[in-house]
């Protein structure tokens, strides 16, 4: 659903414009509300309301008697907030999420299928540089070969 990489900058009010291709997808799916939260690898995750509900259902099934599940859910959901694009297609990034992701001004917004990730430009460059070399070995580990007919 969401694909590609885009560079933007926060405005003076800590808003970032969502790429127009992503906004088109929102319109196609009648998505108006979004949820932004702490992501993994020090980025931010942005979900449509529909996908957020799927995530919530999944994590709700984790047993609260497991310490790891409690910790993860606390960190994940306490960081979440609802956002709505304004008429210019911008969303506000709360200060605590900016701090978590190390965002100062410039961001990279990437589509990762069912979610959008927002990275500080510096952290994305570092992640990309450190991981691009393992792309093929990751594919070998994770992607099942197609059986021959």
Q: Which run of H or E residues covers position 49?
A: helix 49-60
Answer whether 103's CB lies under 8 Å from 9's CB.
no
**Local confidence band at 24 (pLDDT 50, 70, 90 cut-offs):** confident
> What is the overall mean pLDDT for the chain?
92
**Local confidence band at 45 (pLDDT 50, 70, 90 cut-offs):** very high
What is the percent of the chain where pLDDT is above 70? 97
pLDDT of residue 1: 86
How confident is the model over 61-115, as pLDDT tens digits?
Answer: 989 899 999 999 999 999 999 999 999 999 999 999 999 999 999 999 999 999 9
Gap between the Cα atoms of 47 and 109, Å rounded: 13
pLDDT of residue 149: 54
List the one residue out of 127, 118, 129, 83 whose CA is nearest residue 9. Answer: 118
Q: Which run of H or E residues covers position 7?
A: strand 2-9
Residues paired with residue 86 on neighbouring β-strands, in sequence order = none
What are the chain's domains?
Answer: 2-121 (3.40.1550.20)
């Amino acid at each position: 659903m969401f694909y590609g990489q885009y560079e933007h900058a926060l405005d003076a009010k800590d808003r970032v414009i969502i790429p127009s291709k992503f906004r088109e997808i929102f319109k196609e799916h009648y998505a108006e509300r979004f949820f932004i939260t702490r992501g993994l690898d020090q980025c931010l995750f942005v979900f449509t309301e529909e996908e957020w509900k799927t995530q919530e259902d999944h994590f709700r099934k984790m047993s609260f008697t497991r310490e790891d599940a409690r910790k993860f859910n606390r960190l994940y959901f306490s960081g979440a907030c609802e956002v709505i694009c304004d008429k210019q297609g911008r969303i506000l990034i709360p200060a605590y999420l900016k701090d978590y992701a190390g965002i100062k001004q410039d961001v990279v917004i990437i589509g990762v299928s069912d979610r959008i990730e927002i990275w500080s430009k510096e952290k994305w460059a570092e992640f990309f540089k450190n991981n691009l070399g393992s792309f093929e070995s990751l594919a070998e580990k994770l992607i099942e070969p197609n059986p021959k007919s």
